[in-house]
Amino acid sequence: MGGTEIYPPLSFILETPLLSGLARNIFLITDGAVTNTSSVLELIKRNAESINCFSLGIGSGASAELITGAADLGHGVCEFVSDSNMINDKVISLLKSSLAKKC
């Protein structure tokens, strides 16, 4: 538990200037948990006005708190998948949702 490092790359992405007129859609895909879930969710919350966060939890080790929280705070959608044969369907569903969203 907690081997996944999401905060540093997410922070880097959010600090990178956004090109004018473009939405920032973030796809958070993980099969694990992080030790700093509250910090990651707070980072998403602080940037919620400029992002849409779509999250996918893969397998039983994926943190439901992280996956659902990121999507809720980031005005996105979340999906969970336990069967690797269903990953394509879940990814396509998230991509379709992202195309319908605007910041």
Max Cα-Cα span within the chain: 39
Query: Which regions in the chain score pLDDT beneath 50?
Result: 1
Q: How far is 20 from 1, CA to CA, in rounded Å?
A: 39
Q: How far is 97 from 91, CA to CA, in rounded Å?
A: 10
Q: How far is 93 from 31, CA to CA, in rounded Å?
A: 18
∠ CA(44), CA(98), CA(72), 5° rounding?
A: 35
pLDDT at 102: 63
| pTM (2 d.p.) | 0.88
**Homologous superfamily, domain 24-100:** von Willebrand factor, type A domain (3.40.50.410)
Query: Would you kindly state where each structural domain of the chain is located, as residue ranges?
Result: 24-100
